[in-house]
Structure 1
Amino acid sequence: MKLKKIDIRRKFGMMDIVIFISLGALLFLIISPSIGKQVTPSGIEISTNIANLPMYAFLSVRRMMIAYILSLIFTFVYGYIAANNKKAEKFMIPILDILQSIPVLSFLPAVVLGLMAIFPNGNLGIEISCIILIFTGQVWNMTFSFYNSTKIIPKDLREAAEIFQLNKWSQFKKLELPFSAIGLVWNSMMSWSGGWFFLMACEMFRLKGKDFRLPGLGSYLQTASNAGDKKALFWGILTLVLVIVLLDQLIWRPVIAWSDKFKVELTGSQDAPHSFILTMIRRSVIIETVTEKALTPLFEKVNQKIDGFVNKIEKNKRNKNNRKNTVGQIIKWSIRMLFIGFFIYSTYGAIKIVSDISIRDLAKIPPAVTYSFLRVAVAQIIALAWTVPLGVAVGMNKKIASILQPIIQVIASIPATALFPVVLAFFINIFGGLSFASILLMLLGTQWYILFNVIAGAMSIPEDLKEAAKVYGLKGWKKWKILILPSIFPYLLTGMVTATGGCWNASIVSEYVSFGGHTVSTIGLGALISEATETGNFPLLIVSTLVMCIVVVGVNKILWKKLYSLSEERFKIEL
């Protein structure tokens, strides 16, 4: 294994400060159209009649699918630019750190109030808001995965792409996308699990004392939970499990089997994953005919158009050399000035809102940060202890994977918030109240980020290295130290970073729980954000969100970035 040292150490600087200020400004900019205005609650009643579950399931899956498509587009565009443009990377990755640490409920008032101002009549604004909120629960780990995979592409493959004179589009299509496929597939599964986790918060919520709801599985489960209707809760969870199993068998298992061909190795695996559905698709005469007669020609034409467009752009860049493009410069500076104007306006508005925060609210933040930080740390340690060995076992043994993968997918996708009220009384009476129980809920919502990434990392270990380990008789701890841990380390880091952000995200639903008409809360930053969202306390909401972002990004700078640097220095595989 050839090691290449790449210095990517970053320090907290002026750019980070600008990003934090911009974040507060952005929240104000979106919220400002509706500040002081009366919000209109949704008049839709959510029935707990089980006859409505099929339609509710369809509506939720549709929202999830739209959000996932948007997430995939964002992942490719944002991740590609961040990985291939060093100047852009300096501010795009810190922005991504911040965005993935912002709780869904912190996006909620900004998105809902802004869209309600644009679409005041009907539920279109709420529908779009729900999709955007699901998007914020899906996209960040996918983007981190694609970015990280692109950064660790072996130098040999990069050089081969240059020798064959592949343009940017061809490199993306033939090198970057295939190399990142396995990690992206497993993180896509995790994104769907994350989407299901926050579905209850996205389809039914309270804002400024008003109820907003959309028909769907999330709102059904939330309604049943609030009413303490255990029978309806059971049928809702059962429906969710059935939907997840169907998606696993019809989509994810075939995609996993298909993506195995992108593993970088010189010898093929004897126990490659397989899928009955994928086999049937490949044997289907109809699908083969449609593919040959319609899809392949269509994709070839699209590919030629994109290829020609990219070649033209690259040719123009070479021809222009250092000549100044006057029109381009004017447009660039106009955009910059427009951005500066919006930045000044929105920053002033954000400062004006934050200045209204009371001393009493400010005093709540330090202890809230401390308690939430400790819960996040404990949850991460517990998650790390069991997800790494299980993830390696699943990723390196296809037989185990075929059995456990659908089970893991189902368990990971069940919203912990739906199960939590059932055992809430038990934890309050026996284990020290919600303070301890919230750790469990954080764990249920975020441990899967680590597990799915470890599985992806273990599956990506080349068969050549596995065979070499057998030849040299590596077993037990030596095998872990020399082969497994170095191989999964980049994936494990991606999982830990996204899990940390996920823990902070989960704090909003784990530290502030409603069940049977009662609300139970504990000291924590998530509880402050939930309370501020429900009461419309925007100064506290903005300050709490910014504090959470500062904590998460601070940990990323102090810990995770150094480990990422170590990952690229010591654990990058060169062919």
Structure 2
Amino acid sequence: MALTRFPERPNRHDLLALVLTLGLLALFLEASRETVGPFHPNPISLDPLKLPEYTLRTAFRMGVAFLLSTLFTLVYAPLAAKTRLEPFLISLLDILQSVPILGFLAATAGAFAALFPGRALGYELAAIFAVFTSQAWNMAFSFYQSLKTLPRELDEAATLFRLSPWQRFFRLELPFALPGLVWNAMMSMSGGWFFVVASEAIAVGKTQVELPGIGSYLATAIAQGDGRAVVLASLSMLVAILAYDQLLFRPLVAWSQRFKYEERPGLEPARSWVLDLLRRTHTLRGIAEATFSWALEALFQLERRRPPRRPILPQWVLVLPLLLLGGIGAFILWRQLQPLGWLEVARVFLLGFFTFLRVMGVLLLATAIWVPVGILLGLRPRVAQRVEALLQILAAFPVNLLYPLLALFLLRHHLSLEVFSAFLMALGTQWYILFNAVAGSMALPEDLKEAARSFGLKGLTLWRRLLLPGTFPHILTGLITASGGTWNAAIVAEVVQWGSLTLQATGLGSYIARWTLEEGQGPHLLLGIAVMSLYVVVINRFVWRRLYRLAEERFRF
């Protein structure tokens, strides 16, 4: 297929799109310039004139991490949903989302720095990987849920038309999953902003590194008690969030609505000025369409020429190495934790139980409040589009900036952090449930809504017969990711600091935060991470997994 023949000549929209593209490319190159150079551990300046540079560096790290999260999702979720390794891969995903971001930093900061000694790239990769761990698991769970709840008639149609695996993926599975995946991608980006302070102001044992960015700027401002700098950093973060909303997520939301699964047209789709600009171009749109068509055709041709599949290896050949690695890991963990004694292990499990109670309380409260709100928003797409940017800002705002003010409030009114830390945890994790409820409600086919109106379903009957069953798979994805996010938020919420003032709550989060600063990679930190992972995996296995099977069997279109 020739790439040089286009039906129309370039127009003014091509020029505007080219200017926008070159501008974004210039910003990307400027942000990446310092990444590959020598590392200069200069102190973070609170000069407001430094904020544009810091904002650009942080936005660059967030974008790279988001790209890696997307690639991870498109590979990992299909493997988990469609291969015999599903139990292992889902269990591994449960474990990965349960490991706190401080745990990933403790394990990878030194390793990345050793790979590139004396270069900034090592610490940059550590920060990007930390942000990646706050984004990827949510997106992977969303895509996995969509693959497992694919409508049966679409599955049968793909079999009837004899679609190859690649054709099935690009023409059926990915389009069906896109509306929910885009909303979860927005939530993942917001989760990355929430943990940007920990990812840029790396404090793991003896490793104390501050990378230029909004996160390290905020950490410095909080440590010095500079409220003015905190406000300025928050405004800079707001600008970056709005830029991502207008240039990336709003176009994606508007574009993904064309893949909504329904048998009759719904309301007018969402609009985006960026998407409208790209659709009105001649040259750029022609290049994009021709390139995409050529890539798909080349992929399908390659698949047709592939030799016949060989017999699949027995399952034990795949499972045995995994069991061997698991056994070796368990032995190493036992050797590391042996000096601590069983009394310390029991104490940490008790601390985990206190955090578990807070996590369950947060999930129940957030579900009761935000599921109805999200479903009602999704039923009104125009309203959802208008508040989309506001939801991203609220979800992305690092509420740990409010913790010092809340700490002063608690001290002034003699209130205990033991109880109110649960509300601090909810501020950072309730959005997983809200975004998935909105996505599930928007995915409800219009013909089902019309049928409900025809039968006169109203009030509780409508919620019980259509709204809750129809959005249940999405809500469940939100609960799973919110559960892991709440455990992570406990590390921030159970220890509140403003200048020399520090408040701590009894729990596993404060235990991990304390030993991360004191020993970096010692047995206490390893024990805290292991106990938190065990709690999350057990909850996922005995609660969320069973609900997932229920969603797959009973609540799919």
Amino acid at match of 1:460: A
Matched residue SS, 1:215: coil
Could you give the per-residue CA deviations for residues 233-252 of structure 1, whole angstroms, max 9, x where no partner exists?
00110111122122212221
In 1, the alpha carbon distance for the partners of 2:325 and 2:364 equals 42
Quote the residue 1:316 is aligned against: 308
Quote the residue 1:173 is aligned against: 170
In 2, the alpha carbon distance for the partners of 1:282 and 1:305 equals 25
In 2, the alpha carbon distance for the partners of 1:340 and 1:463 equals 47
Matched residue SS, 1:356: helix
Contact 2:370 2:433 in 1 (8 A): yes
- Identify the range of structure 1 (519-528 vs 496-505) with the bigger mean alpha-carbon deviation: 519-528
Alpha carbons of 1:190 and 1:359: their partners in 2 closer, same or farther (altered >3 Å)? same
Quote the residue 1:55 is aligned against: 53
Quote the residue 1:539 is aligned against: 523
Matched residue SS, 1:316: coil
Alpha carbons of 1:92 and 1:255: their partners in 2 closer, same or farther (altered >3 Å)? same
- Identify the range of structure 1 (357-366 vs 163-172) with the bigger mean alpha-carbon deviation: 357-366
CA shift, 1:269, in A, is: 1.3
Matched residue SS, 1:391: helix
Could you give the per-residue CA deviations for residues 408-466 of structure 1, whole angstroms, max 9, x where no partner exists?
11111000112221222102443633223321221111100000000000000000011
Quote the residue 1:110 is aligned against: 107
Contact 2:101 2:130 in 1 (8 A): yes
Alignment equivalent of 2:267, drawn from 263, 270, 273: 270
Contact 1:186 1:456 in 2 (8 A): yes
Contact 2:279 2:285 in 1 (8 A): no
1:13-24 matched pairs, under 5 angstroms: none
Unaligned runs of 5+ in 2: 1-38
In 2, the alpha carbon distance for the partners of 1:54 and 1:440 equals 33
Quote the residue 2:20 is aligned against: none
Quote the residue 1:246 is aligned against: 243
Quote the residue 2:295 is aligned against: 302
Quote the residue 2:22 is aligned against: none
1:460-479 matched pairs, under 5 angstroms: 460-479=443-462
Contact 1:490 1:564 in 2 (8 A): yes
In 2, the alpha carbon distance for the partners of 1:303 and 1:145 equals 24
Amino acid at match of 1:289: T
Alignment equivalent of 1:46, drawn from 44, 47, 54: 44
Quote the residue 1:156 is aligned against: 153
Quote the residue 2:370 is aligned against: 387
Contact 1:391 1:454 in 2 (8 A): yes
Amino acid at match of 1:503: T
* 2:73 counterpart of 1:75: yes
Quote the residue 2:284 is aligned against: 290
Alpha carbons of 1:362 and 1:343: their partners in 2 closer, same or farther (altered >3 Å)? closer
Identity of aligned residues (%): 38
In 2, the alpha carbon distance for the partners of 1:261 and 1:343 equals 44
In 1, the alpha carbon distance for the partners of 2:191 and 2:329 equals 31
Amino acid at match of 1:88: L
Alignment equivalent of 2:533, drawn from 546, 549, 572: 549
* 2:82 counterpart of 1:99: no
CA shift, 1:481, in A, is: 0.9
Quote the residue 1:21 is aligned against: none
CA shift, 1:553, in A, is: 1.4
* 2:405 counterpart of 1:422: yes
CA shift, 1:510, in A, is: 0.9
Quote the residue 1:20 is aligned against: none
Contact 1:42 1:212 in 2 (8 A): no
In 2, the alpha carbon distance for the partners of 1:543 and 1:42 equals 34
CA shift, 1:74, in A, is: 0.7
Contact 2:359 2:483 in 1 (8 A): yes
Matched residue SS, 1:48: coil
Alpha carbons of 1:519 and 1:205: their partners in 2 closer, same or farther (altered >3 Å)? farther
Alpha carbons of 1:311 and 1:528: their partners in 2 closer, same or farther (altered >3 Å)? farther
In 2, the alpha carbon distance for the partners of 1:358 and 1:118 equals 35
In 1, the alpha carbon distance for the partners of 2:341 and 2:203 equals 23
Could you give the per-residue CA deviations for residues 522-568 of structure 1, whole angstroms, max 9, x where no partner exists?
21111111111111162111111111111111111221122112212
Amino acid at match of 2:522: F
Alpha carbons of 1:98 and 1:112: their partners in 2 closer, same or farther (altered >3 Å)? same
Quote the residue 1:433 is aligned against: 416
Instruction: State the TM-score, normalized to the length of structure 1.
Output: 0.85
Alpha carbons of 1:348 and 1:475: their partners in 2 closer, same or farther (altered >3 Å)? closer
In 1, the alpha carbon distance for the partners of 2:422 and 2:526 equals 24
Contact 2:358 2:422 in 1 (8 A): yes
Quote the residue 1:8 is aligned against: none
Quote the residue 1:569 is aligned against: 553
Quote the residue 1:23 is aligned against: none
Contact 1:182 1:262 in 2 (8 A): yes
Alpha carbons of 1:42 and 1:533: their partners in 2 closer, same or farther (altered >3 Å)? farther
CA shift, 1:361, in A, is: 3.9
Alpha carbons of 1:474 and 1:56: their partners in 2 closer, same or farther (altered >3 Å)? same
Alignment equivalent of 2:470, drawn from 468, 487, 492: 487
- Identify the range of structure 1 (96-105 vs 108-117) with the bigger mean alpha-carbon deviation: 108-117
In 1, the alpha carbon distance for the partners of 2:328 and 2:360 equals 38
Alignment equivalent of 1:365, drawn from 348, 356, 363: 348
Q: Which has the higher contact order (CA 8 A, sep 6+)?
A: 1
Quote the residue 1:558 is aligned against: 542
Contact 2:403 2:497 in 1 (8 A): no
Amino acid at match of 1:65: G
- Identify the range of structure 1 (129-138 vs 362-371) with the bigger mean alpha-carbon deviation: 362-371
In 1, the alpha carbon distance for the partners of 2:331 and 2:311 equals 41
Contact 1:394 1:404 in 2 (8 A): no
Quote the residue 2:82 is aligned against: 84
